[in-house]
Structure 1
Amino acid sequence: MSVLVFGLYFPRHRRRDLVVAFLGVNVGVLAVAGSLSSSSVGAGLGLGLFGVLSIIRLRSTELDQHEVAYYFSALALGILGPLSGGPIWLSPALMALILLVMYLGDHPRLFRSYRRQVMVLDNAVIDHVALVAQLERILGARVHAATVERVDLVNETTVVEVRYSYAAGSRRSAALAEAGR
């Protein structure tokens, strides 16, 4: 999972918010599946967990990706708590694993200089290279990805989702490091 998240996904897509979501869901599924495999409760409980997660995601207000990971982790902890079967240490160890992964995956110092933002520019920008240059100038940061969501030629606006990071040693990067302490 570390190779998938830190070796493939993040270097390509730079979405810090999904790092904790992938880690939380993965370790939650691992813990519940591992615990249910040695339990007499069966797979029905595990499938019910996914149903509850779908209801939370679809029926509630829009949640950020890291919030979904916390919900899933909370559900997994709730299922693991009362399960018996297998070694007595298994359930507490899996619960500790979930908490450790969530702590590390959502730590403020992990990828602290990376940001994601939706911006509305006061001009219509069609050229991608010019758009990236303008965003880098406005943000004072290196743009990793810029996805245009809407260009309005009548009102001269561009709505863009931008993923960016501040260079090490910059004033903003130093401010972020100080805020993360």
Structure 2
Amino acid sequence: MARLTLFLIDLVAVSVLVFGLYFPRHRRRDLITAFLGVNVGVLAVAGSLTSSTVGAGLGLGLFGVLSIIRLRSTELDQHEVAYYFSALALGILGPLGGDSFWLAPSLMALVIAVMYVGDHPRVFRSYRRQTVVLDEAITDETALVARLEQLLGGRVHAATVERVDLVTETTVVEVRYSLPARSALPVRERAVAK
């Protein structure tokens, strides 16, 4: 009975992760299926391996290989990778909770709490990352940073040039920058702050 309860706790935890945190913040519907499928798949295999003579290490190794293949098959943002591995971890924690009944639910709650805080929109909300294509070929780093700060209206922390094309007069650069605190607020909060 305790094992079934841990499985149900896992399903509640992954539902909170996917429907309570990920989708409301990022609105990418296609990854809902991936997160739920990974979680339930890992839960099922890890649950069956804990009651068989095959070691759990073999099962976890198989899922490690599957996750590497999955992560290489399409481009995922870093926060999506974090949600992916959180769903995977929740699925593993359900059946492999250990001797203490409360260990697995406590660790599941910890995973969800870390994702809640780490991916919260207010954490470092003024910091941005963007790939910018400029309609001029800029080879001087100081001039490039000045142009980007003017264009983006913020302070450039890092600018990595990906390509400078002298024929078409373009520069492709990945920029990490921060906006002034007031302009980083969503429009609704800016109106209240006035």
Structure-1 separation of matches of 2:185 and 2:80: 27
Structure-1 separation of matches of 2:71 and 2:148: 32
Give the match for residue 63 of structure 1. Answer: 76
Residue 122 of structure 1, CA deviation: 0.5
Change in CA separation of 1:89 and 1:149 when aligned onto 2, cut-off 3 Å: same
Residue 178 of structure 1, CA deviation: 2.4
Which structure has the larger Rg over C-alpha atoms? 2
Residue 48 of structure 1, CA deviation: 2.8
SS of 1:173's partner is coil
SS of 1:82's partner is coil
Give the match for residue 189 of structure 2. Answer: 178
- 1:85-100 matches, within 5 Å, as 85-100=98-113
Is 2:97–2:103's contact at 8 Å kept on the other side of the alignment?
A: no
* Structure 2 residue 105 is the aligned partner of structure 1 residue 101: no
Could you tell me which amino acid in structure 2 is paired with residue 174 of structure 1?
L
Could you tell me which amino acid in structure 2 is paired with residue 167 of structure 1?
P
Give the match for residue 123 of structure 2. Answer: 110
Structure-1 separation of matches of 2:155 and 2:97: 51
Give the match for residue 146 of structure 1. Answer: 159
Structure-1 separation of matches of 2:167 and 2:59: 54
TM-score of the superposition, structure 2-length normalised? 0.66
Could you tell me which amino acid in structure 2 is paired with residue 178 of structure 1?
E
Number of corresponding residues: 139
Give the match for residue 35 of structure 1. Answer: none
SS of 2:75's partner is coil
The more displaced of 100-109 and 83-92 is 83-92
Give the match for residue 144 of structure 2. Answer: 131
Question: What is the RMSD computed on CA atoms of the aligned residues?
Answer: 2.2
Give the match for residue 7 of structure 1. Answer: none
Gaps spanning 5+ residues in structure 1: where? 1-38
SS of 1:49's partner is helix
